Amino acid sequence: MKYLFLFLLILNSLALAQPYPAEWFKPVNPQGAPAWEILPQAAAPGEVILSKRTELGILSNFAATPFVYKEKLYASVEGFWQMMKYPEGSSDPRSVKIYPFTRDEVSAMTAFEAKEAGSVASAIMKELGINWVTFEGIQMVYCTLEPGLHYELILDAMRAKLKQNPEVKRILLATGDLILRPDHHDEGCKAQEWKYYELWMILRAELTSSYSF
């Protein structure tokens, strides 16, 4: 393990000649790294891991990058994502259960706090036999291979994050033509919106084409 880490450090020094920040590719000692994490050195040539250990972490759904969507403020894409699992009102079938937070409270969350709030709601959904979430009263299947309304909402929320946070735009453009890869292992659902790194490549293409930002 020790020699492998030294070898990766040598590879990192060679990366200094490339047109991207060497910090993005700097090897991390795997000892002590969380089990969910994919480390920067896992990137193949022409790729980069969107590691939370570097500035690329701003592209994570977890990042505190406030944005307004449909006239409502969200603290992060993760908060936006997870709040859709919560009841919208007393007539919502999900409201028969007691939740630890309101939709508005989840909307104001970031990172693992938002994810954990969503995990609680997911458990309730499973208990109720519900496979849908809602936005503005519209139900949509939560995890489906065919891109639908949930996919469009997540992509649109990420677009709002991009448009309203100049640093997000700067860093996304700085990735050039690198293939973006996730910094965590597959969570199980194969829906396209779970592949945030691919969505960022779609938005990057919009930025570098005629799409107006």
pTM of the shown model: 0.87
Band (211; pLDDT cuts 50, 70, 90): low
Helices and strands, number each (H, E), in the chain: 7, 6
At 172, the amino acid letter reads: L
3 state SS of 34? coil
DSSP string, 46-107: TEEE--TTSGGGGGSTTS---EEETTEEES-HHHHHHHTTS--STTSGGGGS--SS-HHHHH
- Local confidence band at 17 (pLDDT 50, 70, 90 cut-offs): very low
Q: Pseudo-torsion of CA 76, 77, 83, 85, nearest 10°? A: -150
Residue 171 tokens, joined = 């860093």
How far is the C-alpha of 131 from the C-alpha of 139, rounded, in Å? 10
Rounded CA separation 144/97 (Å): 25
Is the pLDDT assigned to residue 14 strictly greater than 50?
no
Q: Model confidence at 42, in pLDDT bands (50, 70, 90)?
A: very high
Q: Where are the domains of the chain?
A: 21-26+33-77+131-213
Torsion of CA 193, 20, 30, 43, to 10 degrees: 50
- Residues 148-169 pLDDT 10s: 999 999 999 999 999 999 999 9
Tokens 């659902």: give the residue.
Answer: 189
**Residues 103-142 as b or e (16 or more Cβ within 10 Å = b):** bebbbbbbbebbbebbebbeebbeeeebebbbbeeeebeb
Q: What is the mean pLDDT of residues 187-202?
A: 94
Q: How confident is the model at residue 58 (pLDDT cuts 50, 70, 90)?
A: very high
Residue reference for tokens 């036999």:
129
What pLDDT is stored for residue 110 in this prediction? Answer: 98
CA distance 65 to 59: 9
Which tokens hold the place of 111? 């990172």
pLDDT in tens, 63-108: 999 999 999 999 999 999 999 999 999 999 999 999 999 999 999 9
CATH architecture of 21-26+33-77+131-213: Orthogonal Bundle (1.10)
Average confidence (pLDDT) over 11-19? 53
